[in-house]
Amino acid sequence: MANFSGQGVLITGASSGIGEALAREFARRGAALVLAARRTDRLDRLVAELTAGGARAVAVRCDVTVDGEPERAAAAARERFGRLDVVVANAGFGVVGPFALLTLDDYRRQFETNVFGVLRTLKATLADVRRTRGRIAVIGSVSGHIATPGSSPYAMSKFAVRALAEALGHELARSGVSVTLVSPGYVASEIPAHVDDARGAPDRARDRVAAPRGRRHRSRQGGRVLSAARAVADVRRHPEVRRPEPGRAGALSARRSAR
- pLDDT tens digits, 140-167: 999 999 999 999 999 999 999 999 999 9
In this prediction, residue 232 carries a pLDDT of 73
| Residue among 26, 154, 159, 186 flagged as catalytic | 154
pTM of the predicted model as reported, rounded to 2 decimal places: 0.82
Using CA atoms, how far residue 36 sits from 6, 141, 204, in Å, is: 19, 20, 32
Kindly report the number of other CB atoms within 10 A of residue 223's CB atom.
13
In this prediction, residue 185 carries a pLDDT of 80
Residue 259 has pLDDT above 80, yes or no: no
- pLDDT tens digits, 102-126: 999 999 999 999 999 999 999 999 9
Torsion of CA 179, 185, 191, 193, to 10 degrees: 180
Query: CA-to-CA distance for 163 and 145, rounded, in angstroms?
Result: 11
107 belongs to the catalytic site: no
Nearest of 130, 10, 23, 104 to residue 62 by alpha carbon: 10
